Amino acid sequence: MTATLPPPRTGEPLVEIRDLEMHFPISKGLFRAPTDFVHAVDGISLDIAPGESVGLVGESGCGKSSTGRMLVKLMEPTGGSIIFRDGDYQRDVAKVKGSEIKDFRARVQMIFQDPYESMNPRRTIFDTISEPMAVQGVGSVAEREERVLELLQLVGLTPAESFLFRYPHELSGGQRQRVAVARALVMNPTFVVADEPTSMLDVSIRISIMELMTKLGQDLGVSYLYITHDLAVARYMCDRIAVMYLGKIVEIGPTEEILANPKHPYTRALLSAVPVPDPSLKRPPVEIKGGISAAINPPPECRFIQRCPFAAQVCQENPHPPLEQQGDRHFVACYRVDEIDSVTEAAS
């Protein structure tokens, strides 16, 4: 079954997310219908261009991982649509069903956070990397072996032959994450969702995985969605950054623009809270209080209102603000975005 969609044009986004929603019901008991919902993802829209890497950043519980999981169809959205285009292939991810799923999975892959838990400890590296090929029924065993060797080479696990029949426990965390990258790329996907791919790794290894993913992305024409809480990592891996807060994208723009010129009060706070690896620099104080609040049946007004130092009447009386353009490809969801600078100056 194919969704009826307009034919693809050049310059169209690879992934087109529209009003995506994920509301988790809170069980009230076996025979009672749930009345409360966790609004994990609450109407986000985002385009990812072919070859682009977009970073999704935010605190734990903001909905970034749920978004990633919906994009690779590990979770079904409760609303909205995700259109995925790959050449002539065009599908609404939520409507991919039955035998189509296999085809979809060859094009979209995921890299998980924890390289210690994302692999079957009883399967060799060859089995792990070639499994997508086996599932898809691609190639003979000899061809699969050749492809796996090629990928091991590509991700820098050399000599490749010596890794083929090892088990995950024989590898270090960095080597395992390289195997995870190889497994994600084995079917030549066009889109990869990477959920905190480097957060479990030591700095020195982190850099090499970041470089590896960026280089392979460019060489193989893969688009990435990086899910991370670490803005410094996002800076080095992403063309654009989308900041999420309680299920909403509150700001989105080119990476350096967001870092140099953050507009949303939450982005400002997030940036000023990141420690700086230089004792001679002093960060500005962080202006917001407390931790992220619960996303259970949130009130209609701006999600950030309780923690926002700039909240005013306009924020109380109106629904959550829409994303509005504030510069080149820079969008912000805040009613007071124009006034914040003057308020900050007046205070200091």
Partner 1 sequence: MTTSLENLETRQIDPTKPLLEVDRLVMHYKIKAGEVSAIEDVSFTVHQGEAVGLVGESGCGKTSVALSLLRLLPSNAEYISGEIRFNGEDLLYLSPEEMRQHRWKDIAMVFQGAMNSWNPVYRVGDQIRETLDTHYRGAMSYDQQREHMERLFSSVGLTPEMLDRYPHEFSGGMRQRAVIAMALACSPELIIADEPTTALDVIVQDQILKELKRIQAELGMSIIYISHDIAVIAEVTDSLGVMYAGKLVEYGPTSTIFARPRHPYAYLLLRSTPSISGPRRELAPLEGEPPNLLSPPTGCRFHPRCPFATDKCVTDEPPLEEIGGGHRVACWHHEQVPELEEALHR
Residue 298 Cβ vs partner 1, minimum distance, rounded to whole Å: 17
Closer of 49 and 292 to partner 1 (Cβ): 292
Residue 123 Cβ vs partner 1, minimum distance, rounded to whole Å: 23
DSSP 282-348: -PPPP---S-PPP-BS--SS-TTTTT-TT--HHHHHS-SPPPEE-STT-EE--TTHHHHHHHHHHH-
Of 118, 114, 112, the residue nearest 200 (C-alpha): 114
Distance (Å, rounded) from C-alpha 23 to C-alpha 79?
8
Closer of 6 and 279 to partner 1 (Cβ): 279
Closer of 15 and 213 to partner 1 (Cβ): 213
Q: What is the longest distance spanned by two Cα atoms in the chain?
A: 70
Residue 69 Cβ vs partner 1, minimum distance, rounded to whole Å: 20
Residue 76 Cβ vs partner 1, minimum distance, rounded to whole Å: 28
Cβ contact 233:46 at 8 Å: no
Cβ contact 220:185 at 8 Å: yes
Closer of 60 and 140 to partner 1 (Cβ): 60
Give, as one character, the DSSP assignment of residue 6. P
List the structure tokens of 342. 């003057």
Residue 260 Cβ vs partner 1, minimum distance, rounded to whole Å: 10
Residue 114 Cβ vs partner 1, minimum distance, rounded to whole Å: 13
List all residues 6 or more positions away from 3 whose beta carbon is below 8 Å from its beta carbon: 91, 92, 95
List the structure tokens of 294. 């619960």
Q: Other CB atoms closer than 10 Å to residue 8's CB: what's the count?
A: 16
**In the complex, which residues of this chain contact partner 1 (CB under 8 A)?**
59-60, 172-175, 202-208, 210-211, 229-233, 235-236, 256, 259, 269-271, 273-281, 283, 286, 288, 291-292
Closer of 79 and 173 to partner 1 (Cβ): 173
Closer of 284 and 322 to partner 1 (Cβ): 284
Residue 175 Cβ vs partner 1, minimum distance, rounded to whole Å: 8
Question: Alpha-carbon torsion 246, 251, 254, 257, what sign?
Answer: negative
Give, as one character, the DSSP assignment of residue 94. G
Closer of 59 and 92 to partner 1 (Cβ): 59
Q: What angle do CA 286, 262, 230 make, to 5 degrees?
A: 70
Residue 295 Cβ vs partner 1, minimum distance, rounded to whole Å: 14
Residue 181 Cβ vs partner 1, minimum distance, rounded to whole Å: 16
Distance (Å, rounded) from C-alpha 266 to C-alpha 7?
38
Distance (Å, rounded) from C-alpha 132 to C-alpha 151?
13
Closer of 99 and 280 to partner 1 (Cβ): 280
Q: How many CA atoms are closer than 13 Å to the CA of 341, on its beta-carbon side?
A: 5
Closer of 136 and 272 to partner 1 (Cβ): 272
The 3-state DSSP class for residue 89 equals strand
